[in-house]
Structure 1
Amino acid sequence: MELTRLKMRLYFGEAMMGPGKAELLERIAAEGSISAAGRAMGMSYKRAWNLVEEMNSAFRAPLVHSTRGGSRGGGAGLTETGEAALRAYRAFEEKCRVSGAAEIAALGALIAPDKS
C-alpha cells in the first residue's frame, strides 16, 4: 500500500515553487552540480538549467550560483536566498502535514481499498 503523500505548489503570480523545484535545489546542494542534480532526478541537463534559470529570475535574488567548467571543473550550489527559500518551503510543507493530519486521515478513510 502506498503511503499518503502531500505535494504543495505555491503560485505567486507567474512564479511557482513546488516539490520538483525543491528537490532540484536539495540535489544541487548535495551534488554540487546542476547537471548531476538533474541526472539524479531523471531530467535532462537542459530541463534542470531551465528550472534553475526560472527560479533565479522569479526571486529577488538568485537561488543557485554556478561556475563554468574548465580545467578545475564547474559547479553549483545554493545561495543564502536559495537555502532560505528551500527551508521556508519545507517548513510550510511540514506545517501543512502536521496541522492537516486529521483531515488527511479523514480523506484517506474515504478512499476505496486497493483492489489489486
Structure 2
Amino acid sequence: MPDIEKCDRLAAFYGIKIDALLHYEEKVGKTKVAPPPEGKFLWGTVKVGNRGQIVIPKEARDTFALKEGDRLVVLGDEKQGIALIKAEKFEEQLRTSIELSRREMEE
C-alpha cells in the first residue's frame, strides 16, 4: 500500500484528486478504468435507440447544465468518434475563429 506522500505525487502526476486515485470504481463493460484528469469525465456507456436517440447520463446533464430543448451540435471524426457541444458555445467559437481569420487576412 503506497504512503500518502506517494499517493499525493501520483495524483498530481495524473492531474486527479487523491480521492479519485483511491476510490474511483468506474468500469467500461467489465474493465475497470483509471480516473480521468480533473475536469474530464467518463460517465459509462449508453445504448443507441432504434431511431438513433441516446439518453445522456444525469450527471453529464447536470455538469453541463443541459435541459430539455437545448440544442447540441454533433461533431464527428472517423478515427476519434462522436462529440457533442452546446450549439451556443459552438457558434461562439465559430464566430471567434472567423473574426481571427479576418484579422489575419487584413494584416
| TM-score range for the pair, normalised by the shorter chain length | under 0.3
TM normalised by structure 2 equals 0.28
Kindly indicate whether structure 1 or structure 2 has the higher relative contact order, using CA contacts under 8 Å at least 6 residues apart.
1
**Larger % of helix: which?**
1
